[in-house]
Amino acid sequence: MPIDQHGDALLEGVSLRSLPKVSLHDHLDGALRPATIVELADAAGVEVPEADAEDLADWFADKSDSGSLVEYLKTFDLTTAVMQSREGLTRVAREFVEDLAEDGVIYGEVRWAPEQHLGGGLSLEEVVEAVQEGIEEGEDAAAEAGREIRVGQLITAMRHADRSLEIAKLAVAFRDRGAVGFDIAGAEDGFPPSRHRSAFDYLASEFFPVTVHAGEAAGLDSIRSALIDGRALRLGHGVRLAEDLEVVSRSGDVVEVVFGDLARWVRDREIPLELSPSSNLQTGAIAAWGRELGDHPFDLLYQLGFAVTVNVDNRTMSRTSLTRELALLAETFEYGLEDLETFQLNAAAGAFLPVEEREELIELIGEGFDR
């Protein structure tokens, strides 16, 4: 794929970075600038494995290529350690938004777990406020630089912990102050959504939108629980839903695909799949299919009509951006601009926004891709 002088990928002569994009699955503690980590660690007295920002960027990439979700999650010990103060949280959130805007993102949802940021003595409310302040500063800075972006918070509970009802109440309390949805994250295997049924019941009673990490480190049972116990409107990755598809091939060509009831439900109800190509490779989520991007069931799901969206998951760990993920997919599966536009439209349609604002996003994406 031709790359322009700014390192930006060109597809059909168009800069991928310049195209309007929507980022739905993007972790705050997975999207720190390495240089910022070094500075914040210094101020907070946190030890860093590499003192040079470039070396630290390499360290994240190496650690994340382990093939195990548990190993991959260990890199978050460092990022969360420098996000325990109001200053740290606000700065990281501001830069998160600025970096998205720089990448052509016009709407993003940032997920993070407030309960992991109380080490500096701040309350749950105070950490959410600190992040919201950073988001708004980032939106303002982007607007001054001529880029319009809006970012909403997905307040996340840790699935191995027991605070999900409290965190769900926190999310709903902030619904007019930046929170747009709820998620559970962390070790998926062994910690099904059903464990957090009371939180999900509460959220449903408040009509508060939910996405659930499911079908990444665990399979169909986890996805089933996300939909039934979690009443998830989107699936965080959901890639292992492809285990519910029986692909019949003859001499290398797919002749028939038999749908299980779960896969059929997700496809027919257009429940968005928050697929994250690079991350899915690194965490072993697609190990059943192979080790290369070409083995990712992304294209199978797309061709079968699932509401696929493209995501970064953790930009620092995977050393990636939404532009880069789109470039990788375009290169691997020979997608054109029309395909990439479909992924953005799916994401806009699945955004946790009022319908008129989603329609606005859809219009902006159409205009941007038509240009």
| DSSP string computed for 30-78 | G---HHHHHHHHHHHT---S-SSHHHHHHHHHHHHTTS-HHHHHHTHHH
Instruction: Tell me the closest approach of the beta carbon of residue 185 to Zn ion, in angstroms.
Output: 6
Instruction: Tell me the closest approach of the beta carbon of residue 314 to Zn ion, in angstroms.
Output: 7
Tokens 């439209």 sit at which residue? 345
The interface with Zn ion within residues 104-133 (CB under 5 A) comprises none
> Which pair of structure tokens corresponds to residue 92?
């990281």
d(CA 160, CA 145): 41
Give 147 or 159: the residue with its C-beta nearer to Zn ion. 159
Residues that contact Zn ion, how many (by CB under 5 A):
1
Give 282 or 346: the residue with its C-beta nearer to Zn ion. 282
DSSP-derived letter for residue 313 is B
Residues 295-324 as x/- pattern, contact with Zn ion by CB under 5 A: ------------------x-----------
> Which pair of structure tokens corresponds to residue 141?
């800075």
Residues 255-294 as x/- pattern, contact with Zn ion by CB under 5 A: ----------------------------------------
d(CA 212, CA 156): 9
Instruction: Tell me the closest approach of the beta carbon of residue 27 to Zn ion, in angstroms.
Output: 6
Instruction: Tell me the closest approach of the beta carbon of residue 256 to Zn ion, in angstroms.
Output: 33
Give 103 or 313: the residue with its C-beta nearer to Zn ion. 313
Q: Is 370 exposed, middle or buried (0-12, 13-18, 19+ CB in 10 A)?
A: exposed
Phi, psi of 20 (to 5 degrees): -70, 130
Point out the residues that are catalytic: 216
Give 85 or 211: the residue with its C-beta nearer to Zn ion. 211
Give 56 or 285: the residue with its C-beta nearer to Zn ion. 285
Tokens 């989603």 sit at which residue? 358
Instruction: Tell me the closest approach of the beta carbon of residue 85 to Zn ion, in angstroms.
Output: 24
| Cβ-proximal residues to 371 (8 Å cutoff; 6+ apart), any chain | none
Which residues on neighbouring strands pair with residue 253, listed in sequence order? 250
Instruction: Tell me the closest approach of the beta carbon of residue 288 to Zn ion, in angstroms.
Output: 19
Give 29 or 313: the residue with its C-beta nearer to Zn ion. 313
d(CA 168, CA 206): 10
Check residue 104 and give left, alpha or beta (phi > 0: left; psi -120 to 50: alpha).
left
Looking at 187-291, list the stretches that DSSP marks H as alpha helix, in order from N- to C-terminal side: 197-205, 220-228, 261-268, 277-282
Q: Is 268 exposed, middle or buried (0-12, 13-18, 19+ CB in 10 A)?
A: exposed
Which residues on neighbouring strands pair with residue 183, listed in sequence order? 156
Residue 368 to residues 6, 125, 319, 334, 354, Cα–Cα distance (Å): 20, 37, 26, 21, 21
Give 99 or 313: the residue with its C-beta nearer to Zn ion. 313
Instruction: Tell me the closest approach of the beta carbon of residue 25 to Zn ion, in angstroms.
Output: 6
**Site of interaction with Zn ion (CB under 5 A):** 313
